[in-house]
Structure 1
Amino acid sequence: MDFLCEILQALVALAALGLIVLLIVAHVTAGMVSLLRHEKEKYFVTSSGEKEPFPSLHDPHSRELSVVIPAYNEELRMPVMLDEAMEYLENRQKQSPSFTYEVIVVDDGSKDKTTEVALRYTRRYGADKVRVLTLVNNRGKGGAVRMGMLSSRGKVILMADADGATKFADLDKVEAGLKDLNPKPENMAISCGSRAHLEKESVAERSVFRTFLMYGFHFLVWFFCVRGIRDTQCGFKLFTREAALRTFSTLHVERWAFDVELLYIAQCLKIPIAEVAVNWTEIEGSKLVPFWSWLQMGRDLLFIRLRYFTGAWKLGSPHKTD
């Protein structure tokens, strides 16, 4: 019995030491993301080929809606999504002439013709409606969304994936979710599109291994960071301008797990969050590599919690950046 107690004590001591080492590693390796832009990232190209500076999220809004679309090597999938989005937005403007909008395509350092494809829409609809922000280096999806958000003019701002997996008309649903939150007096609220209602169907179609990874990721999200939101990863989220400024100015993670940190920040700041069921279809060509991407996200989830716990990352006030 004494021998078993000694083994148990040794294991507890080893676990405590491992936790301390992990805390130290998480704290020491917690780099701060640079919000500084390359000179080329400060401007968008007009339909006539001239360069004009992007506005700032810190400025007052001048459009009802901004749509931020992160895109990495999306020259093939993006046109379908943009055609659907522009048709919806143009029809809405015809029905309600006071409705104003902009679409910002953020090319995340693509190696294909993503920027050239997006600029066709600028030439067709004008730079007041469609703008292209081309990042010099690949930042990751979270970094691309953040740069688009910080360049937007909308009173409310939608992030939407370039693959068009979510029907753009479901904007009506997430808008209704945002209004139901009644975001006053600070006007901070987030409405998240959700695929949770489709989970049973997706499990039936997935392999056992991918299903195990999915449920494992959901558990880690719940255990370390976000509770009460069943689907943190749907790329269809609507923010009030104030909520976008507060959360994206604080965001650190720029890869796949950025949604989780974003919602973790929002819950820490007590920003109201709605989760709204949307239509979703899996589109071929995903950049997500099942095993390695999930492994990276699991690591990021652990480090998100540890870095905020140790004070390496803080929920500071947003500062204007160049």
Structure 2
Amino acid sequence: MKVTKSVTIVIPVYNDVQALGRAVPVVLETISSISDEYELIIAEDASTDGSSELAAKFAREHAQIIHMHRDERLGRGSALSLAAKKSKGEIFCYFDVDLATDISHLGDLLGLIAGGYDMATGSRLLPDSRITRSTDREVKSRGYNFLVRLILKSRLSDHQCGFKAFRTDVLRDLLDETRDIHWFWDTEILVRGQHKGLRIAEIPVAWTEGEGTTVRSGDIWRMGKAIFQLWWQLHVS
């Protein structure tokens, strides 16, 4: 479907040169069929594998592509926040460079924002979602999302799916309060949005686990700690 609003797409990248090379042509072809006014920001942090050079090459070759490079790795959430502040689109969208979420869902995601929603997110845990991943990751993901719903009273099924879109002005307002700069950023944004009564849509997606993606025990503990910290920020501090 076509959307009439301008769109900013952001792909966070850290040492993912092969995935970046595969993703950019697919993203450009897909978004050009959805919006006539768009930009693609490659938010690349201190990569050492050639991702920075490839992103710069794409930016030279395509006027719609912006290479946002940082010399220090400051975190995925930090990169997304900076991109949101620099973006020109009325709709802000991001997804993972490995295109784990089927990009065929992009029109539906952007259409929800164009149609009046403040935020829209893909979900790997809705009944109609189609996912391929290891049992270990499935169990940990469901456990994490259960805790977010239980402790933070979220109504959403999946908070960490890297496939989200926002009204840009709404997202910028939320960034004034958002504290996390790493992987919990996704969850914090969605929870703070619900706390403010924003209109949020969740759609089922087809999702395939990328090669080399792992969830370590230490990550689980950090996520749990982040959940309780956000609860404290919302209810006590």
Query: Following superposition of structure 1 onto structure 2, how do residues 96-111 of structure 1 map, counting pairs within 5 Å?
Result: 99-111=36-48
1:226·1:263 contact (CA, 8 Å) conserved in 2?
Answer: no
Query: Following superposition of structure 1 onto structure 2, how do residues 95-134 of structure 1 map, counting pairs within 5 Å?
Result: 99-126=36-63, 129-134=64-69
Report the equivalent of 1:70: 12
2:178 is aligned with 1:283: no
2:126 is aligned with 1:197: yes
Cα offsets for 1:154-173 (capped at 9, x unmatched) = 01110111111122231111
SS of aligned partner of 1:197: coil
SS of aligned partner of 1:165: coil
SS of aligned partner of 1:297: helix
Provide the aligned C-alpha RMSD in A.
2.3
2:106 is aligned with 1:171: yes
The structure with the greater share of residues assigned to strand is 2
Q: Residues of 2 paired with 1:254 and 1:153: CA distance?
A: 22
2:130·2:206 contact (CA, 8 Å) conserved in 1?
Answer: no
Letter in 2 for 1:219: F
TM-score, with length taken from structure 2 = 0.89
2:131·2:208 contact (CA, 8 Å) conserved in 1?
Answer: no
Seen in structure 2, the aligned counterparts of structure 1 residues 101 and 211 have a Cα distance that, compared at 3 Å, is closer
Unpaired runs of 5+ in structure 1? 1-62, 94-98, 184-188, 312-322
Cα offsets for 1:81-104 (capped at 9, x unmatched) = 1121011233446xxxxx111000
Correspondence for 1:238 among 161, 165, 170: 165
1:80·1:164 contact (CA, 8 Å) conserved in 2?
Answer: no
**Structure of higher CA gyration radius:** 1
Seen in structure 2, the aligned counterparts of structure 1 residues 271 and 167 have a Cα distance that, compared at 3 Å, is same
1:78·1:164 contact (CA, 8 Å) conserved in 2?
Answer: no
SS of aligned partner of 2:97: coil
Q: Residues of 2 paired with 1:102 and 1:211: CA distance?
A: 34
Letter in 2 for 1:310: V
Report the equivalent of 1:220: 147
2:8·2:91 contact (CA, 8 Å) conserved in 1?
Answer: yes
Seen in structure 2, the aligned counterparts of structure 1 residues 204 and 131 have a Cα distance that, compared at 3 Å, is closer
2:188 is aligned with 1:261: yes
Report the equivalent of 1:50: none
SS of aligned partner of 1:223: helix
Identity of paired residues, percent?
Answer: 24
Letter in 2 for 1:67: I
Which stretches of structure 1, 4 residues or longer, exceed 3 Å deviation after superposition? Answer: 90-93, 197-205
Seen in structure 2, the aligned counterparts of structure 1 residues 257 and 92 have a Cα distance that, compared at 3 Å, is closer
TM-score, with length taken from structure 1 = 0.67
